[in-house]
Amino acid sequence: MSQCRKRCKRQLTKVARYFYHFLMGTLTQDSVEDDFELSTVCHRPESMDKLQEQTKFTKKELQVLYRGFKNECPCGVVNEENFKTIYSQFFPQGDSSMYAHFLFEAFDTNKNGSISFEDFVFGLSIILRGTINDRLNWAFNLYDLNKDGCITKEEMLDIMRSIYDMMGKYTYPSMQDDVPREHVESFFQKMDRNKDGVVTIEEFIESCKKDESIMQSMQLFDNVI
Protein backbone atom coordinates (compact mmCIF):
# COMPACT_ATOMS: atom_id res chain seq x y z
CA MET A 1 0.00 0.00 0.00
CA SER A 2 1.38 3.41 -0.95
CA GLN A 3 2.24 5.99 1.69
CA CYS A 4 -0.38 8.30 0.18
CA ARG A 5 -3.14 5.76 0.74
CA LYS A 6 -1.98 5.11 4.30
CA ARG A 7 -2.04 8.84 5.06
CA CYS A 8 -5.51 9.15 3.60
CA LYS A 9 -6.87 6.39 5.83
CA ARG A 10 -5.29 7.98 8.88
CA GLN A 11 -6.86 11.32 8.00
CA LEU A 12 -10.30 9.77 7.51
CA THR A 13 -10.05 8.37 11.02
CA LYS A 14 -8.95 11.73 12.45
CA VAL A 15 -11.78 13.56 10.70
CA ALA A 16 -14.45 11.50 12.43
CA ARG A 17 -12.72 11.92 15.78
CA TYR A 18 -12.44 15.69 15.30
CA PHE A 19 -16.19 15.87 14.72
CA TYR A 20 -16.73 14.21 18.07
CA HIS A 21 -14.17 16.33 19.91
CA PHE A 22 -15.40 19.69 18.63
CA LEU A 23 -18.63 19.13 20.53
CA MET A 24 -17.07 17.41 23.52
CA GLY A 25 -14.23 19.89 24.10
CA THR A 26 -13.27 19.78 27.77
CA LEU A 27 -16.73 18.84 28.94
CA THR A 28 -15.57 15.81 30.88
CA GLN A 29 -14.37 18.26 33.52
CA ASP A 30 -17.69 20.08 33.73
CA SER A 31 -20.57 19.29 36.02
CA VAL A 32 -23.54 17.80 34.22
CA GLU A 33 -27.13 18.90 34.52
CA ASP A 34 -29.67 16.26 35.34
CA ASP A 35 -32.10 17.28 32.64
CA PHE A 36 -32.36 18.82 29.17
CA GLU A 37 -33.66 22.19 30.28
CA LEU A 38 -32.68 25.30 28.34
CA SER A 39 -33.62 28.85 29.14
CA THR A 40 -34.31 29.64 25.49
CA VAL A 41 -34.36 26.99 22.81
CA CYS A 42 -35.62 26.65 19.27
CA HIS A 43 -35.69 22.87 19.47
CA ARG A 44 -36.12 20.73 22.57
CA PRO A 45 -34.74 17.20 22.30
CA GLU A 46 -36.53 14.06 23.33
CA SER A 47 -36.16 12.82 26.90
CA MET A 48 -32.90 11.20 27.88
CA ASP A 49 -34.69 8.00 28.76
CA LYS A 50 -36.07 7.71 25.24
CA LEU A 51 -32.73 8.59 23.64
CA GLN A 52 -31.04 6.03 25.85
CA GLU A 53 -33.42 3.39 24.49
CA GLN A 54 -32.79 4.49 20.90
CA THR A 55 -28.99 4.74 21.10
CA LYS A 56 -26.13 2.84 22.70
CA PHE A 57 -25.22 5.62 25.12
CA THR A 58 -25.83 5.70 28.85
CA LYS A 59 -27.85 8.48 30.47
CA LYS A 60 -24.65 10.04 31.83
CA GLU A 61 -23.01 9.98 28.40
CA LEU A 62 -26.06 11.60 26.83
CA GLN A 63 -25.96 14.36 29.45
CA VAL A 64 -22.33 15.10 28.66
CA LEU A 65 -22.96 15.05 24.92
CA TYR A 66 -25.94 17.34 25.29
CA ARG A 67 -23.99 19.89 27.32
CA GLY A 68 -21.41 20.00 24.54
CA PHE A 69 -24.07 20.31 21.86
CA LYS A 70 -25.87 23.05 23.80
CA ASN A 71 -22.65 25.03 24.21
CA GLU A 72 -22.05 25.06 20.46
CA CYS A 73 -25.69 25.19 19.37
CA PRO A 74 -27.76 27.14 21.94
CA CYS A 75 -30.88 26.99 19.78
CA GLY A 76 -30.90 23.21 19.87
CA VAL A 77 -30.13 22.76 16.17
CA VAL A 78 -27.24 23.66 13.89
CA ASN A 79 -27.61 24.63 10.24
CA GLU A 80 -25.03 23.90 7.58
CA GLU A 81 -23.29 27.26 7.65
CA ASN A 82 -22.82 27.16 11.40
CA PHE A 83 -21.69 23.55 11.16
CA LYS A 84 -19.04 24.57 8.62
CA THR A 85 -17.87 27.42 10.84
CA ILE A 86 -17.50 25.14 13.87
CA TYR A 87 -15.77 22.43 11.85
CA SER A 88 -13.32 24.87 10.23
CA GLN A 89 -11.81 25.68 13.64
CA PHE A 90 -10.10 22.30 13.59
CA PHE A 91 -8.60 22.72 10.12
CA PRO A 92 -7.29 26.32 9.94
CA GLN A 93 -4.56 25.26 7.53
CA GLY A 94 -7.04 24.25 4.83
CA ASP A 95 -10.57 24.64 3.49
CA SER A 96 -12.89 22.21 5.26
CA SER A 97 -16.14 23.61 3.86
CA MET A 98 -16.78 20.92 1.26
CA TYR A 99 -16.02 18.00 3.55
CA ALA A 100 -18.13 19.60 6.26
CA HIS A 101 -20.94 19.82 3.70
CA PHE A 102 -20.71 16.09 3.01
CA LEU A 103 -20.57 15.29 6.72
CA PHE A 104 -23.53 17.56 7.41
CA GLU A 105 -25.56 15.73 4.76
CA ALA A 106 -24.74 12.40 6.39
CA PHE A 107 -25.98 13.58 9.81
CA ASP A 108 -29.03 15.43 8.47
CA THR A 109 -30.93 12.21 7.92
CA ASN A 110 -34.37 13.79 7.60
CA LYS A 111 -33.06 16.38 5.11
CA ASN A 112 -34.58 19.43 6.76
CA GLY A 113 -31.42 21.54 6.55
CA SER A 114 -30.44 21.24 10.20
CA ILE A 115 -28.90 18.80 12.67
CA SER A 116 -30.72 18.36 15.95
CA PHE A 117 -29.29 16.75 19.04
CA GLU A 118 -31.20 13.60 18.12
CA ASP A 119 -29.62 13.55 14.66
CA PHE A 120 -26.22 14.02 16.24
CA VAL A 121 -26.45 11.25 18.84
CA PHE A 122 -28.08 8.77 16.45
CA GLY A 123 -25.16 9.19 14.04
CA LEU A 124 -22.56 9.22 16.79
CA SER A 125 -24.06 6.09 18.32
CA ILE A 126 -23.51 4.25 15.05
CA ILE A 127 -19.96 5.56 14.58
CA LEU A 128 -18.82 4.87 18.14
CA ARG A 129 -20.97 1.97 19.31
CA GLY A 130 -22.40 0.34 16.22
CA THR A 131 -21.43 -3.03 14.80
CA ILE A 132 -18.87 -3.21 12.00
CA ASN A 133 -21.72 -3.44 9.50
CA ASP A 134 -23.47 -0.44 11.08
CA ARG A 135 -20.31 1.67 10.80
CA LEU A 136 -19.56 0.60 7.26
CA ASN A 137 -23.14 1.34 6.21
CA TRP A 138 -22.78 4.83 7.70
CA ALA A 139 -19.50 5.40 5.88
CA PHE A 140 -21.03 4.17 2.62
CA ASN A 141 -23.87 6.62 3.03
CA LEU A 142 -21.34 9.41 3.52
CA TYR A 143 -19.60 8.54 0.23
CA ASP A 144 -22.82 7.91 -1.69
CA LEU A 145 -23.44 11.59 -2.27
CA ASN A 146 -26.65 11.34 -4.30
CA LYS A 147 -28.00 8.46 -2.18
CA ASP A 148 -28.73 6.19 -5.16
CA GLY A 149 -27.27 3.10 -3.53
CA CYS A 150 -23.86 3.06 -5.17
CA ILE A 151 -20.61 5.03 -5.15
CA THR A 152 -19.31 6.37 -8.46
CA LYS A 153 -15.79 7.50 -9.26
CA GLU A 154 -17.03 11.07 -9.46
CA GLU A 155 -18.49 10.90 -5.97
CA MET A 156 -15.35 9.40 -4.48
CA LEU A 157 -13.23 11.97 -6.30
CA ASP A 158 -15.31 14.78 -4.78
CA ILE A 159 -14.77 13.24 -1.33
CA MET A 160 -11.02 12.83 -1.82
CA ARG A 161 -10.56 16.38 -3.11
CA SER A 162 -12.49 17.73 -0.14
CA ILE A 163 -10.17 15.84 2.22
CA TYR A 164 -7.04 17.19 0.56
CA ASP A 165 -8.50 20.69 0.57
CA MET A 166 -9.30 20.33 4.26
CA MET A 167 -5.83 19.12 5.24
CA GLY A 168 -4.25 22.04 3.38
CA LYS A 169 -1.04 22.73 1.50
CA TYR A 170 1.02 22.61 4.69
CA THR A 171 0.07 18.99 5.21
CA TYR A 172 0.60 18.01 1.57
CA PRO A 173 2.99 20.69 0.24
CA SER A 174 4.05 18.74 -2.84
CA MET A 175 0.73 17.08 -3.58
CA GLN A 176 0.07 16.78 -7.29
CA ASP A 177 -3.38 17.52 -8.66
CA ASP A 178 -3.78 13.98 -9.98
CA VAL A 179 -3.15 12.28 -6.60
CA PRO A 180 -6.82 12.29 -5.52
CA ARG A 181 -7.78 10.68 -8.82
CA GLU A 182 -5.04 8.06 -8.40
CA HIS A 183 -6.43 7.23 -4.98
CA VAL A 184 -9.93 6.86 -6.43
CA GLU A 185 -8.65 4.50 -9.13
CA SER A 186 -6.94 2.39 -6.48
CA PHE A 187 -10.14 2.40 -4.42
CA PHE A 188 -12.19 1.14 -7.36
CA GLN A 189 -9.63 -1.42 -8.41
CA LYS A 190 -9.99 -3.03 -5.00
CA MET A 191 -13.70 -2.54 -4.33
CA ASP A 192 -15.45 -2.67 -7.70
CA ARG A 193 -15.46 -6.45 -7.83
CA ASN A 194 -17.58 -6.87 -10.96
CA LYS A 195 -15.92 -3.94 -12.76
CA ASP A 196 -19.18 -2.19 -13.63
CA GLY A 197 -17.86 1.26 -12.72
CA VAL A 198 -19.72 1.64 -9.42
CA VAL A 199 -19.27 0.27 -5.89
CA THR A 200 -22.35 -1.20 -4.23
CA ILE A 201 -22.90 -1.46 -0.49
CA GLU A 202 -22.21 -5.20 -0.67
CA GLU A 203 -18.90 -4.67 -2.47
CA PHE A 204 -17.95 -1.89 -0.08
CA ILE A 205 -18.61 -3.88 3.09
CA GLU A 206 -16.96 -7.03 1.78
CA SER A 207 -13.82 -5.17 0.70
CA CYS A 208 -13.53 -3.14 3.90
CA LYS A 209 -13.85 -6.23 6.07
CA LYS A 210 -10.90 -7.77 4.22
CA ASP A 211 -8.74 -4.66 4.73
CA GLU A 212 -6.86 -4.97 8.02
CA SER A 213 -5.99 -1.29 8.28
CA ILE A 214 -9.63 -0.24 7.85
CA MET A 215 -10.73 -2.69 10.53
CA GLN A 216 -8.02 -1.40 12.88
CA SER A 217 -9.03 2.21 12.29
CA MET A 218 -12.62 1.40 13.24
CA GLN A 219 -11.49 -0.06 16.54
CA LEU A 220 -10.07 3.35 17.52
CA PHE A 221 -13.63 4.56 18.12
CA ASP A 222 -14.50 1.84 20.60
CA ASN A 223 -13.26 3.70 23.67
CA VAL A 224 -13.68 7.34 22.62
CA ILE A 225 -16.38 7.93 25.25
pLDDT digits (tens, 9 = 90+) for 85-108: 988 888 888 899 999 999 999 999
Q: Would you say residue 37 has pLDDT above 50?
A: no
Decide if 48 is inside a domain: no
Decide if 33 is inside a domain: no
Decide if 61 is inside a domain: yes
Decide if 38 is inside a domain: no
Decide if 79 is inside a domain: yes
Decide if 34 is inside a domain: no
- Using 50, 70 and 90 to split pLDDT, how confident is the model at 33? very low
106: domain CATH number is: 1.10.238.10
Cβ contacts of 131 within 8 Å, gap of 6 or more: none
pLDDT averaged over every residue in the chain? 79
Q: Provide, rounded to the nearest whole percent, the portion of the chain with pLDDT above 90.
A: 45
Contact 24, 224 (CB under 8 A): no
- Beta strands (DSSP E) in 82-152 are 114-116, 150-152
Quickly count: other Cβ atoms within 10 Å of residue 29's Cβ: 6
Average of per-residue pLDDT across 27-45: 44
Say whether pTM exceeds 0.85.
Answer: no
Decide if 129 is inside a domain: yes
Decide if 39 is inside a domain: no
10 Å CB burial of residue 23 (0-12, 13-18, 19+) is buried
Range of the domain at 95: 1-25+54-223
Q: How many domains does the chain have?
A: 1
Q: Would you say residue 18 has pLDDT above 60?
A: no
